[in-house]
A and B are shown apart, each in its own frame.
Chain A
């Protein structure tokens, strides 16, 4: 298996497939994510593909401040993705709840619910920032960079372990 490792790592670097989950986003970040696939930014050059099914995906991109109704769905979808996988928090909402902070209908920020690997701040972030964030997530996926400390907190791992069912 070991002589295949360089090939597998290269393959992981070159073909990140995204699953986009909307956790109560205002649609601003979602539009910017789709803009990454347009002729101007053309993320397909990097092998990035937006997949419709979480079963196919390597990178979970979450936008929105995580409302109460989407919290459990997020954990289910995360559990449905095969390992190895990474999570990218898209925009300011999953990072800090943004203007929705303090609302009784908000469970977020996202790192209370899922182990977030990369934060891409902005309201909304620019497409080049999103692509840079995905590239960083891919480096974590391929093992070029260690998983950040905040993604390996035991509380988050526990929440994910009990949340989703496959």
Chain B
């Protein structure tokens, strides 16, 4: 029974069958909101899907064997690990889970940015290296508040379903605010878009990626949207005693609400410099997360 449920989670609901269309829709929603706020009409809803299909159908440039292998492997690992992270999210109230699945979730979510850093250096492009360096510095900056906020929520134990139900309201509000602050950096959105910085350092770490390899990156980026918005949704909807359809609907609705919020913030802000971004996260992000941690441990 548990095996069946795990397969369902991996392949159907928070997993593959939900995650890939949701990834396309979230990327589209971000572009559409950006366009509407600039007074444009924006792309039609199928745009990200056709972008990815078109990229898969292009002939990749011939590369030296090892470099070609690595440049295909890194985006593949990013897609696979992000899908795994999505299927770990405790969408159903009694969805099993196991003690310590939070650690696995964080590892899987962090594998994507790590692959982006390695891929940037593997492509041996100046701009790829520059984007990868910025991405690496940014990882250090945003992971301090991100992990601290998760620690505050996980005061009762490193289990996702436990986290989603046991944390008290003030801890939850503070920690969720800190987590939300880190999302624009993780998703390369304004004001923390210095790592990809399109037009400024070409396309950052994906500058040299073409055709199917770039399509995998686009897919990985969409899945990161689903994973991170889903993480917020799971932690923000703590009621464990409601029926599972309601829980699943709330998960989807809150996920998309997070996308709308982040898109509006991204469209109305400008890009910060690398040092400003790092300082911002270590000061305000970490301050918020630390206060959540203090509240969590004082109450116990």
**Could you tell me which A residues sit within 8 Å of B by CB distance?**
4, 7-8, 10-12, 14-15, 17, 38-39, 42, 44-45, 47, 51-53, 55-56, 58, 80-84, 166
Among the interface residues A38, A44, A166, which one has the most CB atoms of the partner chain B within 10 A?
A44
State whether B40 touches A44 (Cβ < 8 A).
yes
Q: How far is the CA of A42 from the CA of B53 in the complex (A)?
A: 23
Residues of B within 8 Å of A38, CB to CB, are 40
Q: How far is the CA of A25 from the CA of B61 in the complex (A)?
A: 29
State whether B38 touches A39 (Cβ < 8 A).
yes
**Could you tell me which B residues sit within 8 Å of A by CB distance?**
31, 35, 38-44, 46-47, 50-51, 53-54, 57-62, 127, 198-199, 202-203, 206-211, 214
State whether B214 touches A44 (Cβ < 8 A).
no
Among the interface residues B57, B209, B214, which one has the most CB atoms of the partner chain A within 10 A?
B57
State whether A11 touches B41 (Cβ < 8 A).
no
CB distance from B28 to the nearest CB of A (A): 11
State whether A14 touches B46 (Cβ < 8 A).
yes
Sample of 13 further A-B pairs with CB below 8 A, known A8-B53, A82-B210: A4-B57, A8-B54, A12-B54, A12-B57, A14-B46, A14-B54, A39-B38, A44-B41, A45-B42, A53-B203, A53-B208, A58-B54, A166-B61
Residues of B within 8 Å of A17, CB to CB, are 51
Of B51, B59, B61, B214, which is within 8 A of A47 by CB?
B51
What are 5 A-B interface contacts by the 8 Å CB criterion? A11-B54, A14-B46, A45-B43, A53-B206, A55-B210
Residues of A within 8 Å of B58, CB to CB, are 58, 82-84
Q: How far is the CA of A83 from the CA of B55 in the complex (A)?
A: 10
CB distance from B180 to the nearest CB of A (A): 27
Given A53-B202, A55-B208, A56-B203, A15–B61 Cβ distance below 8 Å? Answer: no
Inter-chain residue pair count (beta carbon < 8 A): 85
Q: How far is the CA of A53 from the CA of B57 in the complex (A)?
A: 18
State whether A8 touches B198 (Cβ < 8 A).
no
Residues of A within 8 Å of B214, CB to CB, are 55-56
Q: How far is the CA of A4 from the CA of B209 in the complex (A)?
A: 23
State whether B62 touches A166 (Cβ < 8 A).
yes
* Interface residues of B, dominant DSSP: loop
State whether B211 touches A82 (Cβ < 8 A).
yes
Q: How far is the CA of A7 from the CA of B54 in the complex (A)?
A: 9
Q: How far is the CA of A51 from the CA of B210 in the complex (A)?
A: 12
Closest residue of chain B to A51 (Cβ to Cβ) is: B203
State whether B43 touches A47 (Cβ < 8 A).
yes
CB distance from B116 to the nearest CB of A (A): 15
Please list the 8 inter-chain residue pairs (A to B) with the smallest Cβ-Cβ separation, ordered nearest first.
A11-B53, A11-B54, A55-B210, A39-B39, A52-B202, A11-B50, A42-B40, A8-B57
Residues of B within 8 Å of A14, CB to CB, are 46-47, 50, 54
State whether A52 touches B40 (Cβ < 8 A).
no
Q: How far is the CA of A5 from the CA of B174 in the complex (A)?
A: 51
Q: How far is the CA of A48 from the CA of B214 in the complex (A)?
A: 17
CB distance from B131 to the nearest CB of A (A): 11
Residues of B within 8 Å of A52, CB to CB, are 198-199, 202-203, 207
Residues of B within 8 Å of A82, CB to CB, are 58-61, 210-211
CB distance from B47 to the nearest CB of A (A): 6
CB distance from B289 to the nearest CB of A (A): 34
Of B38, B57, B61, which is within 8 A of A55 by CB?
B61
Residues of A within 8 Å of B61, CB to CB, are 55, 80, 82, 166
State whether B59 touches A83 (Cβ < 8 A).
yes
State whether A55 touches B53 (Cβ < 8 A).
no
